[in-house]
Amino acid sequence: MKRVLVTGAAGFLGSHLCDRFINDGYHVIGMDNLITGRLKNIEHLFCKSNFEFYHHDVSKFIHIPGDLHYILHFASPASPIDYLKIPIQTLKVGSLGIHNCLGLAKSKGARLMIASTSEVYGDPSVHPQPESYWGNVNPVGPRGVYDEAKRFQEAITMAYHNFHGIQTRIARIFNTYGPRMRLNDGRVLPAFIGQALRGEDLTIFGDGSQTRSFCYVDDLIEGIVRLLHSDHVDPINLGNPDEITIEQFAKEIIALSNTNQKVVFKDLPIDDPKQRQPDITKARSILDWEPKIDRKDGLKRTFAYFRSLSADDLRHTEHNNFEQYITK
């Protein structure tokens, strides 16, 4: 049984990766310091013999006994609220964290994949964004801690590949959505759905003409797995090229929730990208991958998940009682 380490295992994408590898017959080691992750996302895995969990900060030295075949570094705050609240930790996980993962990969002979992001393109002047575009990023702006952490992460990963011969893969992930997102993480989709479920007006920052492209989580996980097992070393975009304006998206959420909320406009945050759409030509040709789940179907599934949450969750209450899992 091959063994895989997933950092950020209790987060949105990390928990879905753990599910996928468990279902594919791997022994999965999940690691998370729970600064933004939630144990609730992986509690169903604690009873499985091929899953173990390390409550650990990947920015500190990592020791994993035994063989290790794959490492997926998905630990990082991933929303504006998070990385503005914890900027130092955001920079550390993208620098010290990836350095520790690369050292572990080198010592174990493991293949390492990093979760990069469309944010490496910043507020793009090229549209849609191909992998060859170098980006338009403000390194000292409020989003710089996340953008530059991810850009550094790509640079050191390629350095280890070129200098040490480490097998590495780089996934540039565009906006992804689905069950297990946090309602209070500041990203537009959970923010809109949370407001709709609470009967609040939907808040748009800016005039609503800015665009985003949303990929359902199951599609993204399939792309990640295909990239991991491919021979492609350079960065590759993973996302859904179906672009929509934020104002149109708000109207879709209102229609989905069958409510009559209004849309409220507020000032656009500094350095917020005006456009976001992946060019997935490489993913199509190299990985034979493209999204299959359309936004209408994906939103129904996601809305049903959020509607099933407790009243505490809808009020933005977070629970991370690790002790209850230790005693199981």
Known catalytic residues are 146
DSSP-assigned beta bridge partners for residue 222 = none
Angle between helices 12-23 and 217-228 (to 10 degrees): 60
Task: Compute the radius of gyration of the chain from its Cα atoms.
Answer: 19
In terms of Cα–Cα distance, which of 278, 294, 281, 291 is closest to 213?
A: 278
Q: What is the DSSP string of 270-303?
A: TT--S---B--HHHHHHH-----S-HHHHHHHHH
CA distance 89 to 78: 12
Long-range contacts made by residues 257-261, C-beta under 8 angstroms, separation at least 24?
A: 257/193, 257/196, 257/197, 257/303, 259/196, 259/199, 261/195, 261/196, 261/199, 261/200, 261/201, 261/202
CA distance 38 to 171: 23
Strands 111-117 and 168-173 turn out to be parallel
> H/E element holding 51?
strand 51-55
CA distances (Å), 222 to each of 15, 121, 235, 287, 290, in order? 14, 23, 16, 10, 9
